[in-house]
């Protein structure tokens, strides 16, 4: 082996952790991050010197346990219903529009400008209009979640379809594959990582839109409960609900990331995530 080859190979043997090291690192990263955040939080609470304004981590944990015995489960259920309906409708619509856009040039010429016009507008900007249309009800967060989750899945799916190697499709056609077979065995596998990445992005923005919509336009849910406790200046309970929102968002993202890694095992990046 040449000196240049030895130099190039050396970093991988020093820096590389191996499968066991990666698993250990992943197992410890969450507890370490939580410990650091709790320490900073406790230090901030002591520095401010006002436990009502900035409650300590133990106060928030105690408040969370009280909420768990009360209305927290109903609020989580209401938010999950809003998220499930809005996210499902948004992703389904985004996939359908992406399929039509990729298939028909005339649809692309109509849909693409409209998407690029609406995509920069935050879902929060539509809250006043949504309240006027639906009143203060669960329809407001469902509508805003639908709007927020539509665009990431659409853009990523279109990008995934367009990057499919045309030589592969021509080769499949020459070998006698039908358009349906080309779609299911060539286009979809190639575009799948883009689609799943778009689904993950859609979930993140949908979760944020849900909380914002429930703060002002809903009569139930985690966002609505935040506003309720803020009115009574119960900051320990406000922080407990905020932490619940963060933990649930992290859990959903982790589940979707693992699903992405399992479905796309052939992808190098997914293989690393799966270990």
What pLDDT band is residue 43 in, cutting at 50, 70 and 90? confident
More confident residue, 21 or 246: 246
What pLDDT band is residue 244 in, cutting at 50, 70 and 90? very high
pLDDT computed for residue 16 by the predictor? 55
What pLDDT band is residue 187 in, cutting at 50, 70 and 90? confident
- pTM of the model as a whole: 0.79
196 in Cβ contact with 76 (< 8 Å): no
Q: How far apart are CA 113 and CA 59, in angstroms?
A: 50
For tokens 């992406």, what's the residue?
98
105 in Cβ contact with 158 (< 8 Å): no
Structure tokens at 73: 């489960």
What pLDDT band is residue 9 in, cutting at 50, 70 and 90? very low
What pLDDT band is residue 1 in, cutting at 50, 70 and 90? very low
Query: DSSP assignment, residue 187?
Result: I
253 in Cβ contact with 200 (< 8 Å): yes
- What's the rounded mean pLDDT across residues 167-181? 77
- Angle (CA) 275-204-124 rounded to 5° is 170
What pLDDT band is residue 55 in, cutting at 50, 70 and 90? confident
Give the start-to-end residue ranges of the domains of the chain: 59-274
pLDDT computed for residue 12 by the predictor? 43
- Assign domain 59-274 to its CATH superfamily: MetI-like (1.10.3720.10)
| Helix axes of 105-118 and 72-103: crossing angle, nearest 10 degrees | 140
pLDDT digits (tens, 9 = 90+) for 101-160: 887 889 889 999 999 999 999 999 999 999 999 988 889 999 999 999 999 999 999 988
150 in Cβ contact with 94 (< 8 Å): yes
Give SS3 for 168.
Answer: helix
263 in Cβ contact with 192 (< 8 Å): yes
Q: How far apart are CA 210 and CA 205, in angstroms?
A: 9
Which of 172, 170, 151, 148 minimizes the C-alpha distance to 101?
Answer: 151
Q: Provide the greatest CA pair distance for the chain.
A: 75
pLDDT computed for residue 80 by the predictor? 95
What pLDDT band is residue 97 in, cutting at 50, 70 and 90? very high
252 in Cβ contact with 180 (< 8 Å): no
Structure tokens at 275: 């270990």
Count, in order, helices (H) and strands (E) of the chain: 13, 0
What pLDDT band is residue 14 in, cutting at 50, 70 and 90? very low
204 in Cβ contact with 210 (< 8 Å): no
What pLDDT band is residue 74 in, cutting at 50, 70 and 90? very high
């Amino acid at each position: 082996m040449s000196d240049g080859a030895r130099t190039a190979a050396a970093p991988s043997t020093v820096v590389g952790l191996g499968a066991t090291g990666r698993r250990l690192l992943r197992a410890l990263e969450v507890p370490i991050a939580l410990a650091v955040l709790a320490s900073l939080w406790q230090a901030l609470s002591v520095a401010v010197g006002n436990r009502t304004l900035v409650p300590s981590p133990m106060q928030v944990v105690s408040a969370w346990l009280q909420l768990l015995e009360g209305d927290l489960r109903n609020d989580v259920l209401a938010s999950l219903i809003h998220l499930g309906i809005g996210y499902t409708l948004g992703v389904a619509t985004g996939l359908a529009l992406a399929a039509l856009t990729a298939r028909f040039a005339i649809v692309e010429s109509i849909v693409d400008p409209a998407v690029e016009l609406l995509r920069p507008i935050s879902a929060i900007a539509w809250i006043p209009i949504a309240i006027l249309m639906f009143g203060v009800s669960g329809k407001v967060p469902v509508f805003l979640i639908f709007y927020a989750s539509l665009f990431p899945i659409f853009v990523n799916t279109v990008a995934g379809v367009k990057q499919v190697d045309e030589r592969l499709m021509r080769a499949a056609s020459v070998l006698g594959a039908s358009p349906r077979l080309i779609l299911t065995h060539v286009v979809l596998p190639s575009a799948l990582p883009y689609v799943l990445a778009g689904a993950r992005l859609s979930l993140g923005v949908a979760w944020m839109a849900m909380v914002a919509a429930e703060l002002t336009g809903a009569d139930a849910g985690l966002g609505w409960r935040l506003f309720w406790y803020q009115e009574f200046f119960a900051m320990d309970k406000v922080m407990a609900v905020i932490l619940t929102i963060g933990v649930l968002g992290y859990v959903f993202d982790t589940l979707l990331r693992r699903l992405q890694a399992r479905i796309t095992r052939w992808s190098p990046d997914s293989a690393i995530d799966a270990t």
